C-alpha cells in the first residue's frame, strides 16, 4: 500500500469517528485550548498506532481505546510538563455543541457532571453513552465483562447523585 | 434530570456532527505533534546539559593552564560521563514516548508506569555511577601520589560522601521528574484494578 493511500485511509477513519473523538476530548478537557491540544494528540496517537490496526476489533472500539488512553495519560502528563498558560478568557470553561459552538444547557450540565467522576468512571460512562457493548468495553479497559457491568452501574449511580446535586446547587 | 436525558443529549450531539476535517489539516496536526515531541525532548536534554556545564568546565579549566595527558584524559572522561548520562535520559524519554496506546487501558497504564520506573532506575544508576567513578579516580590519584595514610582515608571518606549525596539528590531529581506523573498513572491503575463489590 502506498503512503498516499495509507494517508487517505487514515483521514477517512479520523473523519468517520471525529465526533466520537471530540466527545472524548470535551469530557476530559474543559478549556478550548486544552481541547484542541488533546484532539491533536489523539490524532497523532491514532496515526502512530495505525500501521498495527488489523480491523480485528471494530474501528470505533479501536479509536475509542486510543482516545481514552490518550486522554487519561495526556491530562496526567501535563502535570509533568508545566507550561505557561495565559490567563485569558480563552481558558474559561465553555462546552460547545458539535456544530454551533454555543453552549447547550443540557449538554453543558452533562459534561460538567461527567467531569466530576474519576478518570475510570468517566471513561466507563463515555463508552456507555457511545453505545459500546460490555464486551467492547472490556476490550477498552482490559477487565472482565462482569466487572464492567458492576463498575458501570456504580458509575451511573455516582453520576446520578452528581446531577442531582448540580441541579439543586448549580453554582457548586 | 434522569440519565435517559444524557443518552438523548449524547445522541443529539452525535447527530450534530462537525464538518469533516481536510486530509492536509490532519497531516499537519500530526507533523505539529511530532515536532512538539521532539522539541520537548530537546529542551529537556538542553536543560540537563546546562546543569552539567560547571562539571565540564572543571575538566576544561585544567587544560587552559597546561595540556597534559592526565588533564586531557580527565576532560574527555568528564565529557564522556555527561554524555552517557544525557544518552540514558534520552533513551528513557524515547521509551516512555513509544509506549503503544492501542492496547487496553490497564495495559497502557501498566506499561507507562513500568517505563517511568525503568527510566528513573536507569537515570539514578547512571548518575550515582558517575559520582562513584569520580570518587574512585580521586582515591586512585591521592593513593598514587600520597600513598596510604591520612589523605587517602580523607579522599575515601569524601568519595563515599559524594556517592551518598549523589544517591539522595538523584532520587530527589527522578521524583521531581517522574514522580507526580507516575503517582497519577498508578492511582488510575488502582482505580481500574480495585475489585468492585457486587451490588
The torsion of the CA quartet A112, A116, A120, A126, rounded to 10 degrees, works out to: -20
pLDDT of residue B92: 86
How far apart are the CA of B71 and the nearest CA of chain A, in angstroms?
Answer: 39
d(CA A52, CA B5): 38
Cβ–Cβ gap B191/A53 under 8 Å? no
> What whole-number distance in Å separates Cα of residue A80 and Cα of residue B44?
12
Q: Which domain holds residue A107?
A: 3-168
H or E element that contains B136: helix B105-146
User: What pLDDT digit, counting tens, does each position of B106-150 carry?
Assistant: 999 999 999 999 999 999 999 899 889 888 888 888 888 888 888
pLDDT per residue over B70-82, tens digit each? Answer: 788 878 888 888 8
- Helices (H) and strands (E) in chain A — how many of each? 8, 0
**pLDDT tens, position by position, B43-55:** 888 887 888 888 7
B101 vs A49, A121, A163: nearest CB? A49
Closest residue in A to B199 (Cα–Cα): A150
Chain A residues with CB inside 8 Å of B12's CB? 107
Q: Cell numbers at residue B11, please? A: 445522541
Question: From B103, which residue of chain A is nearest by alpha-carbon distance?
Answer: A65
Query: How far does the CA of residue A87 sit from the closest CA of chain B (Å)?
Result: 22
B31: chain A residues, CB-CB within 8 Å: none
Residues B185, A85 contacting (CB under 8 angstroms) = no
Distance CA B83, CA B102 (A): 34
Which residues, in sequence order, are CB contacts of B174 under 8 Å at separation 6+? B119, B120, B123, B124
Residue-level pLDDT, tens digit, chain A, 172 residues: 567 888 899 999 999 999 999 999 988 888 888 899 999 999 999 999 999 887 767 898 999 999 999 999 886 665 555 443 333 333 344 454 444 455 577 778 888 889 899 989 999 999 999 889 999 999 999 999 999 999 999 999 999 899 888 877 766 5
Q: Do B102 and A53 touch (CB under 8 A)?
A: yes
Residues of A in contact with B17 (CB under 8 A): 18-19, 98-99
Q: Which of A45, A81, A147 sits opposite B101 (nearest CB)?
A: A45
Residue A67's CATH number:
1.10.1740.10
- Residue pair A123/A68 in contact by the 8 Å Cβ criterion: yes
* Interval A48-68: pLDDT, tens: 999 988 776 789 899 999 999
Contact assessment for residue A74 and residue A66, using Cβ atoms and an 8 Å cutoff: no
Can you give the pTM of this predicted structure? 0.80
Residues of B in contact with A119 (CB under 8 A): 188, 191
Q: Which residue has the cell 464486551?
A: A135
Rounded Cα distance between A137 and A127, Å, is 7
CA distance B59 to B144: 20
Shortest distance between the Cα of A25 and any Cα of chain B, in A, equals 13
- B29 to A44: CB separation less than 8 angstroms, yes or no: yes
Q: How many domains does chain A have?
A: 1
Q: Which chain A residues are within 8 Å of B35, Cβ to Cβ?
A: none
> What sign has the CA pseudo-torsion B96, B54, B144, B168?
negative
User: Could A69 and B1 be called an inter-chain contact, meaning their C-beta atoms sit closer than 8 Å?
Assistant: no
Amino acid at each position: 500500500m502506498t503512503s498516499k493511500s495509507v494517508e487517505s485511509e487514515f483521514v477517512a477513519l479520523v473523519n468517520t469517528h471525529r465526533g466520537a473523538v471530540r466527545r472524548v476530548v470535551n469530557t476530559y478537557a474543559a478549556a478550548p485550548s486544552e481541547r484542541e491540544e488533546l484532539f491533536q494528540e489523539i490524532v497523532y496517537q491514532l496515526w502512530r498506532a495505525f500501521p498495527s490496526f488489523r480491523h480485528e476489533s471494530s474501528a470505533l472500539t479501536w479509536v475509542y481505546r486510543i482516545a481514552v488512553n490518550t486522554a487519561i495519560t495526556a491530562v496526567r502528563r501535563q502535570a509533568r510538563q508545566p507550561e505557561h498558560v495565559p490567563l485569558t478568557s480563552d481558558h474559561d470553561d465553555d462546552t460547545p455543541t458539535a456544530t454551533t459552538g454555543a453552549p447547550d444547557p443540557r449538554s453543558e450540565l452533562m459534561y460538567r457532571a461527567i467531569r466530576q467522576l474519576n478518570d475510570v468512571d468517566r471513561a466507563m460512562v463515555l463508552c456507555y453513552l457511545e453505545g459500546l457493548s460490555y464486551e467492547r468495553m472490556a476490550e477498552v479497559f482490559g477487565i472482565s465483562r462482569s466487572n464492567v457491568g458492576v463498575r458501570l452501574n456504580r458509575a451511573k449511580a455516582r453520576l446520578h447523585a452528581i446531577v442531582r446535586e448540580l441541579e439543586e446547587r448549580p453554582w457548586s | 434530570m434522569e440519565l435517559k436525558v444524557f443518552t438523548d443529549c449524547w445522541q443529539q450531539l452525535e447527530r450534530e456532527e462537525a464538518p469533516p476535517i481536510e486530509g492536509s489539516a490532519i497531516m499537519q496536526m500530526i507533523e505539529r505533534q511530532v515536532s512538539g515531541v521532539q522539541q520537548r525532548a530537546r529542551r529537556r536534554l538542553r536543560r540537563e546539559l546546562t546543569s552539567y556545564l560547571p562539571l565540564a568546565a572543571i575538566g576544561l579549566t585544567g587544560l587552559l593552564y597546561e595540556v597534559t595527558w592526565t588533564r586531557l584524559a580527565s576532560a574527555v572522561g568528564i565529557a564522556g560521563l555527561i554524555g552517557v548520562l544525557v544518552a540514558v535520559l534520552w533513551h528513557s524519554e524515547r521509551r516512555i514516548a513509544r509506549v503503544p496506546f492501542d492496547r487496553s487501558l490497564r495495559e497502557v497504564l501498566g506499561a507507562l508506569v513500568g517505563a517511568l520506573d525503568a527510566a528513573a532506575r536507569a537515570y539514578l544508576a547512571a548518575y550515582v555511577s558517575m559520582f562513584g567513578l569520580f570518587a574512585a579516580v580521586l582515591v586512585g590519584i591521592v593513593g598514587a601520589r600520597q600513598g596510604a595514610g591520612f589523605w587517602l582515608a580523607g579522599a575515601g571518606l569524601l568519595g563515599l560522601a559524594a556517592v551518598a549525596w549523589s544517591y539522595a539528590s538523584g532520587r530527589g531529581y527522578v521524583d521531581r521528574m517522574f514522580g507526580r506523573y507516575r503517582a497519577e498513572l498508578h492511582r488510575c491503575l488502582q482505580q481500574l484494578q480495585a475489585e468492585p463489590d457486587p451490588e
